Each structure stands twice: as structure tokens, then as C-alpha cells.
Amino acid sequence: MSLLNSESCIVMEQTIHHHKEPMKLLGFLLLVSGWGIVVAALALLHGAGVAGFVIAGFAIEVLGLVLVLRAHLPLLEERE
């Protein structure tokens, strides 16, 4: 019982949660930037180049979504 109430346990828990914040922020930024690439490509480009930029924008959005979902998942050590 005294081990769970010690300062080292509290510091470790704060370090784990602090580690995921940049990944979560990066994921949200990638979601927004992917959406911006798709909208800009549809508005500004004409012809065959549109498809490539739309696919790249969707790929960036998927990458951002994966980062956001991974940041929200509990760590494996926390589950055990």
C-alpha cells in the first residue's frame, strides 16, 4: 500500500500522460492539414494533378487519425 502512495509512482504516472500530448497535438494538426490540402487541391487545381493531391491529403488525414487514436489508447503497462 505504501508503494502506491509514494512520490515515484505519482511522478511516473504524470510522465506517461505527458508523453502522449505532443503525439495527440501532431495528430490533430495532421488532420487539419490533410483537409486543407484536399480543399486547396479541389479549389485551385484542374486536370490530372487533382487526384494525386486529393489522395495525398487523405493519406495525411489517415496518418493524423492514427496518431490521435494511438494517443487516446491506454498504454500496455497500464492495462496489466
Note the pLDDT tens digit of each residue in 35-79: 999 999 999 998 888 999 999 999 999 999 999 888 888 765 566
* Cα end-to-end span (Å), the chain: 18
Asked if pLDDT for residue 4 goes beyond 80, the answer is no
For residue 61, give Cα distances in angstroms to 9, 23, 77, 79.
36, 14, 29, 28
Provide the whole-model pTM: 0.66
Three cell numbers at 26? 501532431
